[in-house]
Structure 1
């Protein structure tokens, strides 16, 4: 498995909060140490969105058995940035036409009534313009396509399923979620929760990469393994309470 990961990273190079207490990057400092890759569970993101306003509704992916991309974020250790590193090139929606089907499958906007392109423009303007100093992400379409490749290769749903962890109403130990990811990929991720009442819900799994697109332990760059307050268990929902989007 590890050999496959190394081969994937080599191919990617050729063809191609999160930290607890943070301080902002100083203006003009666009340097970063690693890439934080956030993949969220669409059901939980929908739950979060609906919780913000009673009128909010969701648009969920047609493929139910996959974590979707939230974003790939250049990050300096101990900070929340850099952000918005360049005003050029401006986001071009037509540049994404060749990969539009992939984007709508795995990087769609769950927030009903909001535009997919506004979401993608936000991710490019805030994060892609910083990641573009790396060859695999140095154009808009490469930033999105290479990130989608990471989503396909680092299949969180598959890793959890292989360990017997599947969506439903039951509770899972957070340590078991961590173990499943570590067994599959060999590095520590971050497990990120949101809360519904007092219950922790699995929201996203975040992976960390160095600037050569090698997967690294998130703990090595100060990203704690659990962002679920003091909870030891969480729920990994198959559907929303009431079953409506």
Structure 2
């Protein structure tokens, strides 16, 4: 091979190495999206029936819907590997999870909800958070991002009244310090209502940060939305 051929091969190898680094960076964890939901808005949709867990009705609160990893490449990865998850490992956290991360889906799925969330989302963050740390991070972040308390401080309560979307976002920013991504749905009467509130954390799962990306279009909200009662 002549000098020109060697030079060309070297350039190709350099470009390939840069491409591999870029691909690796794109597939690395950038942030976590902590998604909380108002179960009152989930349960009052047309055709939806909720079942309470064996422990009874949960106290009114925004509860964890999921902790979703977000990659540098701009994707929300899921199902990153088969994992024979032993839910018994969560025994020390079970009381806290039942309170902060319940499921009211009928028939009651209980622990299966946590297993589903780990298999779908947690497996994509294993390099940073193991199984127990993943769930502990979600619980700790929820305590830092107390949506119910933030809204109550501004007089926004689940009383079936309508509040401006702007005032809801302002209340959350004032109390928690970060801009939320709010998703709405419709109740059986067709009213636009608050359903999910998302805030972000760094890739350690310990510190709240501004979300690197706020999705548009999904579950868009009207300028005024209803805050339904919990039950």
Asked if the contact 2:182–2:194 (Cα under 8 Å) also holds between the matched residues in 1, the reply is yes
Aligned partner of 1:179 in structure 2 is: 170
The RMSD of aligned alpha carbons is 2.4
The number of residues matched between the two structures is 203
Counterpart check, 1:104 vs 2:98: yes
CA distance in 2, matches of 1:63, 1:106: 9
Aligned partner of 1:74 in structure 2 is: 69
Asked if the contact 1:174–1:232 (Cα under 8 Å) also holds between the matched residues in 2, the reply is yes
Aligned partner of 2:201 in structure 1 is: 209
List alignment gaps of at least 5 residues for structure 1. 1-25, 241-245
- Pick aligned residue for 2:118 from 114, 124, 127: 124
Counterpart check, 1:42 vs 2:34: no
- Pick aligned residue for 1:190 from 173, 181, 198: 181
Q: Kindly state the Cα deviation for residue 77 of structure 1 after the two structures are TM-superposed.
A: 6.0
Asked if the contact 1:190–1:226 (Cα under 8 Å) also holds between the matched residues in 2, the reply is no
Describe how 1:9-20 pairs up with structure 2 within 5 A: none
Q: Aligned with 1:150: secondary structure?
A: helix
Instruction: Provide TM-score, normalisation by structure 2.
Output: 0.78
Q: Aligned with 1:72: secondary structure?
A: strand
CA distance in 2, matches of 1:198, 1:232: 15
Q: Deviations over 1:92-124 (max 9, x none)?
A: 111011111111111111113131122111100
Q: Deviations over 1:182-215 (max 9, x none)?
A: 0012111111100235421110110012214432
Closer/same/farther in 2, CA of residues 125 and 224 from structure 1, 3 Å limit: closer
CA distance in 2, matches of 1:225, 1:67: 22
- Pick aligned residue for 2:81 from 82, 86, 99: 86
Aligned partner of 2:3 in structure 1 is: none
Aligned partner of 1:65 in structure 2 is: 60
Aligned partner of 1:9 in structure 2 is: none
Closer/same/farther in 2, CA of residues 58 and 44 from structure 1, 3 Å limit: farther
Closer/same/farther in 2, CA of residues 227 and 185 from structure 1, 3 Å limit: farther
Instruction: Provide TM-score, normalisation by structure 1.
Output: 0.74
Counterpart check, 1:235 vs 2:229: no
Deviates more, 1:61-70 or 1:105-114: 61-70
Q: Report the structure number with the largest CA radius of gyration.
A: 2
